Chain A
Amino acid sequence: MIQVENLVKHYGSFVALKGISFEVPSGQVLGFLGPNGAGKSTTMKILTGYLYPSSGHVKVDGIDVQEDPLSVRKKVGYLPETNPLYMDMRVDDYLRFVGSIRGLRGKALSQGIQRVVEVCGLARVYRKEIRELSKGYRQRVGLAQAMIHDPEILVLDEPTSGLDPNQIVEIRELIRNLGTDRTVLLSTHYLQEVEATCDRILIIAQGKIVADGTARSLTSTLPPGPLTVEIKGPKDKVETQLKELFPPETGVQVQFLGEDPPGEVCFRVGTSPESDEHVREAIFDLVSRNGWKLLEMHRPPATLEQVFRKLTLDPIEEPLVAKELSMGGSHV
C-alpha cells in the first residue's frame, strides 16, 4: 500500500506540488491524469526516491521513502518518462545489468529475464542492440526493465507517449495484464488510456489533486450531453413542427444536423436535465402523431474529456469551457 501525505515540492521558487495526499491500496491500477506540467512526473520521482520532497511523506507498506529509500526501491519497478535505455547495449545485456543490480543472481536472474522477455514479447529482439529497435520495442524493453524483479508496485510515467496507435494498444494490453496482480501507478495525458486501463483516476492540475474516483463517478459529476434524435419523415415538416413544439421561450434548442439518406433527418435537441423527461416524451408523441418513424433517441453521458477540461483549464480560460459545451448543445 502506498500512502502519500501532503507532498510539497519546490523547484527553486516555483512550487510544482502544492500539497498532494492520496492512498493506493494494494492491487489497484491508479491513473494519474493531468495536463503537461501538472506535477505527475514530480510525484512519481518523489515516490521512487529520485527526488526528495520539500515537505510531506511517501510511505510504501509503512516504510518512509526518505528514511529507508533502498527498501522502498526494492519493492518498486519504475519506468521514467524518458525511457532509460543504454542505446549501445544489447537487450539481453541490458536486462542482465538491471537484474544484477536489482540483486538477482544465477538462476533467479535468468528466470527473471525469461519471464519479462515472454511477458513483454521481446524474444525477437533479444540479441539486438537497443539502438536498432523501433520505438514500440524500446518501450517494451523499458517496461521489461521495470518488472524484472517482479515488483509489488509498478510506477510508469507516460508509458505510451510517442507510440503509434497499434503500439499504444499493445502496451495498454500489457499494462492491463500486469495490473491484475500488482499495484500500478500510471501517468498519462491520454484520456482513453486511463479509461481503458485504470481502476481509479486521479486528476492533477497545477500541483493539486482536483478529482479522485472511477471514470464513471467522475463523468457523472457533469450533466450529460445533448439529446440526439433521428426521425424518418419529410424534412421541412419535421423541422417546423419540432420548432413549433419547442419555441425559443421554452429554453429547448433544436438544431438541424442533416438529412442522410434522404428522408431521414437528424436533430440535436439541447435540454436541461430537469426538462429532459418531458422533452423526450413530447418528441415521441409528435413523431407518433404524424406517423413518422423514430429511428434513434440518444443521449451520451459526459465524457472524461469534458471532466478533464473543466477541472484542468486555467480559471481565465474557463469561459472557453462553457462556450465549448454550449456548442455541444447541453448549455441552455
Chain B
Amino acid sequence: MSKTTVILKREFRSYFLSPIAYVVGGLFLAIGGWFYFSRVFFDFGAGAEARMDGFFNLLPLFFLVLVPALSMRLWAEEKKLGTFELLLTFPVRSRDLILGKFLGGLLFVVVLLAFTLPYPMTLAAYGKLDWGPVIGGYLGGILLAASYLSLGLFISSLTRDQIIALLLSVASLLILVLLPQFGAAMSPSLAEAFKLLSPVEHFRSIARGVLDLRDLIFYFVFCGLFLYLNALVLEFKKRNG
C-alpha cells in the first residue's frame, strides 16, 4: 500500500465519520432524484425518448456546492486540529499527501454518483435509453468534480477555517462557471476563449456522448495546475512558518 493510498483511505473513511458528508450527500441524492424523477414522469407523459439530460444539466450546479462542502475540510481541518504538522513530518512527500487527499475526495464523489446509477437503469428498463450520453455524463461528471475538487483542495490549503474555505471555493467556482457569460457580455472572441477555460463547457461536450481528447487534456491540465499550486502553498509554509 503506497503512502498515497494510506492518505486516500483515511480521507475517504473520514467522510463517513462526519455529518457534513451525510447531509450533503443525502441532499445531493434527494434533490437529484427528485429532479430526475419529475423529468422522467414528464418525459414519459410526453411519450419522449428516455434521457438523463435533466440530471446532467444540473450537475455543474449541484457540484458547485457539493464539491466545496467536501473539499473545505481537506487541509483546513488538519490545520485546526494540529495534524497538519504531523502529516508534514511523516516520511511522505508533499505530492503524495496532496494526491491522496485529492483522490480520497474524488472517490467519495464517485461513490455518490454510483448511487445514482439506478436512475438510468430504471430508464433502460422502462424505455429506450441511449447509453452514449449517459456514460459521457458520468465520465464528464467525474472529471468535472475532479476539477472543482482540485480548486477546492487548493483553497482549503490557504486557511484553517473550513467555512472560509467553503465560501471562497464556491465563489471561485461560480466565477469559473459564469466565465463564458462574462465573456459573451464583452466580445464574441472573448466568449470563445473563456469557453475553453470553463470546466462546465468541457463537461457539456463530454456529456453529449462525444469523447474529445482536448476535453480530457483540459481536465488533466486544470487539476494538475491546482494540485501544483497546492504543493507551492505547502512549500511556502515550510519556508515562512
Contacts and interface: CB of A to CB of B under 8 A. Distances in A.
A70 B91 contact: yes
Contacts of B238: 50-52
A169 to B, nearest CB: 25
A2 interface: no
B90 A102 contact: yes
A51 B241 CA distance: 6
Contacts of A84: 81-86
B222 to A, nearest CB: 28
Interface in A97-156: 97-98, 100-103, 105, 145
B211 to A, nearest CB: 37
Contacts of A83: 82
B90 A101 contact: yes
B85 A50 contact: yes
A70 B92 contact: yes
B81 A87 contact: yes
Interface string A18-54: 0000000000000000000000001001001111100
Contacts of A100: 1, 6
Interface residues of A, number: 33
A171 to B, nearest CB: 18
A100 B86 CA distance: 14
Interface stretch (B10-18, B59-67, B185-193): B10-18
B95 interface: no
A88 B14 CA distance: 8
Nearest to B84: A84
Interface residues of B, number: 24
Interface string A48-71: 111110000000000000000011
A161 interface: no
Contacts of A190: none
A85 B90 contact: no
A12 to B, nearest CB: 8
Main secondary structure of the interface of A (DSSP, over half): loop
Nearest to B239: A52
Given A80-B86, A97-B10, A85 B81 contact: yes
A49 B17 contact: no
Contacts of B83: 84-86
A98 B10 CA distance: 10
Contacts of A89: 14, 17
Taking each of B1, B17, B88, B89, which has the highest tally of chain A beta carbons within 10 Å of its own beta carbon?
Answer: B89
Contact of A11 (B3, B14, B89, B240): B240
Interface string B69-96: 0000000000001111110111111000
B89 A73 contact: yes
A78 interface: yes
A9 B81 CA distance: 25
B103 to A, nearest CB: 15
A101 B1 CA distance: 9
A86 B11 CA distance: 11
A80 B90 CA distance: 12
A102 B241 contact: no
Contacts of B134: none
A49 B3 CA distance: 18
Given A78-B86, A80-B82, A100-B1, A73 B10 contact: no
Nearest to B5: A100
B85 A80 contact: yes
A102 B3 CA distance: 8
A145 B86 CA distance: 10
B91 A103 contact: yes
A180 interface: no
B177 interface: no
Interface string B2-39: 01001100100010011000000000000000000000
Those 3 A-B pairs whose CB atoms lie nearest each other, nearest first? A82-B82, A84-B86, A73-B91
Given A83-B82, A97-B6, 12 more contacts: A12-B240, A48-B89, A70-B91, A73-B89, A76-B89, A78-B86, A80-B85, A84-B86, A86-B81, A88-B17, A98-B86, A100-B6
19 contacts: A9-B241, A11-B240, A11-B241, A42-B241, A51-B238, A70-B92, A82-B81, A85-B81, A85-B82, A86-B81, A88-B17, A97-B6, A98-B90, A100-B6, A101-B92, A102-B90, A102-B91, A103-B3, A103-B91
